[in-house]
A and B are shown apart, each in its own frame.
Chain A
Amino acid sequence: MKYKSLIITNPEDLIFGIAPNPVKTRRGLEIGGGQVYAELNFTLPVMSINESTLPQVYEHYREIAEGALERAVDLNSKGVVLELETLLEMTKTPWIGIEIVKVMNEICEKYYQKHGLASEIRLTPNDLREFERPAKQRTSQYLEPMMELFEKGMIAGGDLLSIESTGGKEVSDDALMNCDIKTIVFALAVLGVRDMQFLWKKIFGLASQHGKIAAGDSACGFANTAMVLAEKKYIPRVFAALVRVISVVRSIVAMEEGAVGPDKDCGYEGPFLKAITGIPISMEGKTAACAHLSPIGNIASACCDLWSNESVQNIKLLSGMAPTAYLEQLEYDARLMNQALIAGTVPSHILQQLLVASDVYTDPQALILSPENVIRISKELIKGDSYVANARNGAITALDIIEEALASGKIKLSEMETAYLPILRDELESIPESESEFIEMMLPLLDQSKFILSEYGL
């Protein structure tokens, strides 16, 4: 791993709105430069996407951008990021996605020229490669349209480039349901890392060529899936917390390959990435309940630089269209954090502490996100000589933190949860430091019909 020390070592400095390495954008946002901006995410209502519905599709995105930016102006917003996370059809047929970027960019430019409102588009093509099983991460026919959307989409105005890449997902899906932590480490720290290296070289290359911003890649399909499954009571919360920590070694590869942030909203590994690399991050919490439930509604914002709602359908609510309503909610949250920053260090830290304290001992997934614990775990995530060792050590430290909080009575967990603690520790401790030894250990245990080693350069 490239990073050998933390950029942020003091928990108080892991705070909203301020990142050691802020990102400046074309229309004047300075993300992590001293204030929090809203990042609005949205999707279509229930509808098909085909040739006959394309005019409606474009109209939805026009309406979303127009409504959100109009409201942002009314609320005296200092800036907004709009994330276009493409759906299958928009990536498979890249010109559809590119056209949507154009539609939205025209509106962003209009509000910039007319009102001076700074806004940017985060372009997040969906990873089409998971449509093939076993996935062909490096030779897939789908790589070409994905890369075409990245390149032409960034030229059309998608300045911040992100993806929720899926390398290793074909292995992790079953492992999540089986609470198989060793296989999770294999999926993320062996397969995921390799795929991220492959993919982010390409994305960073294109971004550099066109002067755009390689932002980041969230382990949504892994760690967020774990969180949602835990929320449904399908898997233990303690397991989901460890999956989150393990996902850091995979997501940090984007930064190693040149990404500079803002990291993506659904990556709750963001606080660890911010501590290790100093990049700004997007986070989502209570205002993302429209998309998924979570136990980290407040604590997620304690060190955010963009504050997001994950996704909301473009449907009518009593107040107006849902994306407009969510933009308002995000703006008010951002306004509060920004007011604290303006008021000075002490008020900012008080707000940071309140955001943390209100969630931290309610769930192990919140516990690991307190700034103190992020710093403690992050130190372990960079100590070792391999991604595997770092994943293991980070997860064991997270487990230590959970057990300490349990022993002190600060956190309460059901017997169903605590039964998994010794099992998870035994499994993690059986993982060798050496990656090659780990791969040798795991291959006979895995169903190799589900993944293709050569597609990961193995």
Chain B
Amino acid sequence: MEELLEKLLQAVEFGKVDFKSPYPPQLKGENGAYELTIKALESGVGPQQILENALVPAMDRVGKKFSENKIFVPQMLMSAKAMGASMLQLKPFFTSGEIKTKGTFIIGTVKGDLHDIGKNLVAMMVEGAGWTVIDLGVDVPSARYIEAVNNNPGAIVALSALLTTTMVNMGEIVSDIKANLPTTKVFIGGAPVNNDYCQKIGADFYAPDPQGVVEHLSKLAS
């Protein structure tokens, strides 16, 4: 059982989606995350165990390697795809409530801004860390963040911006969220913002990179 979970962990860590996928070369001819998850479930491994002992630690390793500049984003994306293949098999257990994620994380690029590369990376890493991610996309006004939190009480909200002329919209959105939902935690990130700005606009947390978001979320969840 442990061997199976270790194999699954490696498949996700190195981005082996399924048997057919050619990537990574060293796992050619081996089962991928898709087949290994089916096997694990058939062998009686619990879905929560699959999530906690294989998928989340695999993505944790991937996140650490990325933050140490040992892999590029494409490798991280392959790992996310492998995890997605596994999660597809676990979906019924999420629906039935047999397994639970660590919480809900709502993310979007603020209104007036279309840049989404950084936001997408954060979303992927947070999902890999075992959170339910709701990605609102780009050019997102206050009302959509608030609506999403109302639909997912207790969710954490993250705002992204790349431009100096759109980062000012973060302040407005944070104020709107806090006025309507005072207990909601709001994270901010993006090239022009920093911790001082985070404090100035009344947001709760700033991270300079995706791994910083994941680490802070882990502290909140523990």
Q: Is the beta-carbon distance between B168 and A88 smaller than 8 angstroms? A: no
Known A177-B117, A234-B72, A416-B71: A48·B164 in contact at CB below 8 Å? no
* Cross-chain contact B165 with A48 (CB below 8 angstroms): yes
B156-188, CB under 8 A of A: which get 1 and which 0?
Answer: 000000011101110000000000000000000
The interface-forming segment of A22-30, A39-47, A191-199, A393-401 is A39-47
Q: Give complex CA distance A131, B116 in Å.
A: 12
Asked whether any CB of chain A lies closer than 8 Å to the CB of B151, the reply is: no
With A130-B114, A131-B139, A178-B77 known as contacts, the answer to whether A46 contacts B192 (CB < 8 A) is yes
Q: Which bucket holds chain A's interface residue count? A: 20 to 34
> Is B43's CB within 8 Å of the partner chain A?
no
* Chain A neighbourhood of B121, CB < 8 A: 177, 234
Known: A131-B114, A131-B139, A233-B69. A313 touches B74 (CB 8 A): no
A177 touches B112 (CB 8 A): no
Q: Which of B71, B117, B168 contacts A229 (CB 8 A)?
A: B117
List, in ascending order, chain A residues with CB within 8 A of B114's CB. 130-131
Closest to A130 in B: B114
* Cβ–Cβ < 8 Å partners of B41 in chain A: none
Residues of A with C-beta under 8 A to B69:
233
A405: interface (CB < 8 Å): no
Q: Which of B135-160 contact A (CB under 8 A)?
A: 137-139
Measured CB to CB, the closest approach of chain A to B89, in angstroms, equals: 22
| Contact in complex: B112, A235 (CB < 8 Å) | no
Q: Is the CB of B72 within 8 A of A46?
A: no
Q: Is the beta-carbon distance between B165 and A44 smaller than 8 angstroms?
A: yes
Q: How far is the CB of A363 from chain B (nearest CB, A)?
A: 16
Q: Quick one: closest A residue to B114, CB to CB?
A: A130
Given the contacts A173-B116, A233-B69, A46 and B165 also touching, CB distance less than 8 Å: yes
Near A by CB (< 8 A), chain B positions 107-133 give: 112, 114, 116-117, 120-121
Shortest C-beta distance, A342 to chain B (Å), equals 39
Residues of chain A contacted by B116 (CB below 8 angstroms): 173
Determine whether the beta carbon of B74 is less than 8 Å from that of A45.
no
Contact among A48, A173, A233 with B168 in the assembled complex (CB-CB below 8 Å): A48
Taking the nearest CB of chain B, how far is it from the CB of A257, in angstroms? 26
Q: A46-B164, A130-B114, A173-B117 are in contact. Are A416 and B72 (CB under 8 A)?
A: yes
The smallest C-beta distance from A77 to any residue of chain B, in angstroms, reads: 28
User: Residue of B at shortest CB range from A87?
Assistant: B165
Give chain A residues whose Cβ lies under 8 Å from the Cβ of B169: 48
Does A45 lie within 8 Å of B73, measured CB to CB?
A: no
User: What residues of chain B lie closer than 8 Å to A173, measured between beta carbons?
Assistant: 116-117
The answer to whether the Cβ of B70 comes within 8 Å of any Cβ in the partner chain is yes
Q: Does A18 contact B (CB under 8 A)?
A: no
Q: Given A88-B112, A173-B117: A47 and B73 within 8 A (CB)?
A: no
Residues A178 and B72 in contact, CB atoms below 8 Å apart: no
Q: Please name all residues of chain B whose beta carbon is closer than 8 Å to the beta carbon of A235 when the two chains form the complex.
A: 72-74
Contact A233 B139 (CB under 8 A): no
Point out the residues of chain B lying under 8 angstroms from A313, CB to CB: 164
Q: Is the CB of A177 within 8 A of B73?
A: yes
How many residue-residue contacts, CB under 8 A, span A and B? 54
Partner of B73, one of A44, A46, A131, A234: A234
Chain A residues with CB below 8 A from B137, complex form: 133
A47 to B163, CA, bound (A): 10
Residue of B nearest to A178 (CB): B74
- Nearest A residue to B73 via CB reads A234
B72 near A43 with CB under 8 A, answer no
- Chain B residues near A130: list those with CB within 8 A: 114
| A49 interface residue (CB < 8 Å to B) | yes
Residues A105-154 near B (CB distance < 8 A): 130-131, 133
User: Taking A179-B72, A233-B72 as contacts, is the C-beta distance between A46 and B168 under 8 angstroms?
Assistant: yes
Question: Can you name the residue of chain B whose Cβ is closest to the Cβ of A236?
Answer: B72
Query: Using a CB-CB cutoff of 8 Å, which residues 136-188 of chain A contact chain B?
Result: 173, 176-179
Please give, as numbers and ranges, the residues of chain A lying within 8 Å of B117 by CB-CB distance: 173, 176-177, 225, 229
**Smallest CB–CB gap between A439 and chain B, Å?**
23
A200 → chain B closest CB, angstroms: 22
Q: Which of B192-212 contact A (CB under 8 A)?
A: 192
Residues on A with C-beta less than 8 A from B77 are: 177-178
Q: Give the CA-CA distance A47 to B112 in the complex, in Å.
A: 13
Query: Which one of A43, A44, A133, A177 contacts B74 once the chains associate, using CB atoms below 8 Å?
Result: A177
Shortest distance from the beta carbon of B72 to any chain A beta carbon, whole Å: 5
User: Contact check: which of A47, A133, A179, A225 meets B165 at CB < 8 Å?
Assistant: A47
Nearest-CB residue, chain B, relative to A173: B117
Bitwise, A203-246 to B at CB < 8 A (1) or not (0) is: 00000000000000000000001000100011110000000000
Q: Which chain A residues lie closer than 8 Å to B168 at the CB level?
A: 46-48
A179–B74 alpha-carbon span in the complex (Å)? 6
Contact check, A45 vs B112: say whether CB atoms are below 8 A apart. no
- On chain A, the residues within 8 Å of B73 by CB distance are 177, 229, 234-235
What is the bound-complex CA distance between A133 and B168, given in angstroms?
24
7 pairs from A and B in contact (CB 8 Å cutoff): A44-B164, A44-B165, A87-B165, A88-B165, A133-B138, A177-B120, A177-B121
* Other A-B pairs, 11, CB within 8 Å; known A43-B165, A229-B117, A233-B69: A46-B164, A48-B168, A88-B165, A177-B77, A177-B121, A179-B72, A225-B117, A236-B72, A313-B164, A416-B70, A416-B71
Interface residues of A (CB under 8 A from B): 43-49, 87-88, 130-131, 133, 173, 176-179, 225, 229, 233-236, 313, 416
Q: 7 closest pairs, A vs B, by CB?
A: A179-B74, A234-B73, A46-B164, A48-B168, A233-B69, A178-B74, A177-B73
